[in-house]
Structure 1
Amino acid sequence: MDKLLTIEELAELLRTTPRGIRLRRHRGRSLPPALRLGGKLLWRASDISNWLDAEAVRQGINAGAPSAPESASQSPHLRKPGRPRKNGGAS
């Protein structure tokens, strides 16, 4: 049988607050499926793990691999310029 987590435990696991979890539910944002038992919202540990894996895939993150170091081709001078200045960019 899976461990059931409370909203406080889920919030701690996701590094947010219980209020943040409630807001996500209210706004229809992605969360693992919840059970309502005795008036409390509870989440299965396996559902949370599966949801995190699916979110990683959706966001293009390889969940099991360490993040790749920033390559040299992503240097700051290749970024788009910000808002142009009124004086044509001269300092």
Structure 2
Amino acid sequence: MALLITERCINCDMCEPECPNQAIALGAEIYEIDPSRCTECIGHYESPTCQSVCPISHTIIQDVAWRETPDQLWEKFVQLYPNLNG
């Protein structure tokens, strides 16, 4: 699954610079995650860095509307970074 930033977001700007896929951007009111770019940090880190740096617990959660298996997340990573994999 891709991740989702909930309304608990306080716009602290901790998550956006940590995202290796540039999937996080400031939306109209809070930060938002582009699910087409979010790999939950698969291919980069052991766990999602946005979740680890967020100071408000349970603000960045799995987006149940965007279900993906770890294999699908890996494929997305490969498509985002073809030069790293070939």
**Same fold by TM (over 0.5)?**
no
Q: Whose helix fraction is larger, Structure 1's or Structure 2's?
A: 1
Structure of higher RCO (CA pairs closer than 8 Å, 6+ residues apart): 2
Larger CA Rg, structure 1 vs 2: 1
Alignment TM-score, normalising by the size of structure 2: 0.29
